[in-house]
Amino acid sequence: MKRVYPDKEYCIGCHLCELACITAHSKSKDLILAYREERGKDGLSACKKVFEKGDTCVAISCRHCDEPSCVAACISGGLYKDPETGRTVYDRNKCVGCWSCLMACPYGAIKRHPIESKIVKCDLCEGREEGPACVAACPNAALKFEER
């Protein structure tokens, strides 16, 4: 399956991927409204995070692992593997906010929702025809959406 692969060699730490993610997952689909309004009001937050240490930075989001630790750890069935697409899917209605997945994920790619007892996780911009918004926004091609 196609996944988003970050390249730490060329990640420049601009965080534009996070902004693109927020916009793609907002109601308004408008960066300014999403960042100023929806972030505070609805707790809208990016499914990915740019980690930085010294000169190195890398944008991490869900790897959609073949055998995901988060799915194994999920006690409510809120996380599961879609057999057709191969994606690790999150069902928000089933999530009970136990944070087991957070602890299980070896990549630190799952975040707490800032307001609700839910998680925030990459869905590869499901339904977005052009593919993940973060990949399109990366100015240095440090994110690639491809089959490997």
Partner 1 sequence: MLFQPINKNYHEFCIERDSDLCINCKVCVRQCSYEAHFWDEARQKVMHDNTKCIGCHRCEALCPTAALNIVNKPSDFRTNKLWRPVFLQNIYKQADTGGVLLAGMGSPVDIPVYWDHILLDASQVTNPSIDPLREPMELKTFLGAKPRKLDIVTDKKTGKPKLKTKLTPQLELDVPIMFAAMSFGAINFNLHRAMARAATETGTYYNTGEGGLHKSLYKYGANTIVQVASGRFGVHRDYLQAGAGIEIKVGQGAKPGIGGHLPGEKINDKVSETRMVPIGSDAISPAPHHDIYSIEDLLQLIYALKEASEYKAPVSVKIAAVHNVAAIASGIARAGADIITIDGMRGGTGAAPAMIRDNVGIPIELALAQVDQRLRDEGIRNNVSVVAAGGIRCSGDVIKAIALGADAVYIGTATLIAVGCTICGRCYTGKCPWGIATNDPKLSKRQNPDIAAKKLANLIRAWGHEIEEMLGGMGLNSIESLRGNRDKLRGVGISDTELDILGIKHAGR
Which residues would be at the binding site for partner 1 (CB under 8 A)? 9-16, 19, 31-32, 35-36, 55, 137, 139-142
84 Cβ partners below 8 Å, 6+ apart? none
Shortest distance (Å) from residue 30 CB to partner 1:
10
Shortest distance (Å) from residue 1 CB to partner 1:
23
CB nearer to partner 1: pick between 35 and 145: 35
CB nearer to partner 1: pick between 40 and 106: 40
d(CA 8, CA 86): 25
Instruction: Name the residue among 56, 64, 98 with its Cα closest to residue 82.
Output: 64
Residue type, 93: N
Shortest distance (Å) from residue 101 CB to partner 1:
28
Q: What is the dihedral of CA 90, 130, 45, 73, to 10 degrees?
A: 20
CB nearer to partner 1: pick between 83 and 139: 139
Shortest distance (Å) from residue 17 CB to partner 1:
11
CB nearer to partner 1: pick between 23 and 100: 23
How is residue 35 written in tokens?
């960042």
Opening angle at CA 108, ends 2 and 33, nearest 5: 75
Shortest distance (Å) from residue 94 CB to partner 1:
33
Measure the N-to-C terminal CA separation of the chain; round to a whole number of Å.
Answer: 8
CB nearer to partner 1: pick between 21 and 71: 21
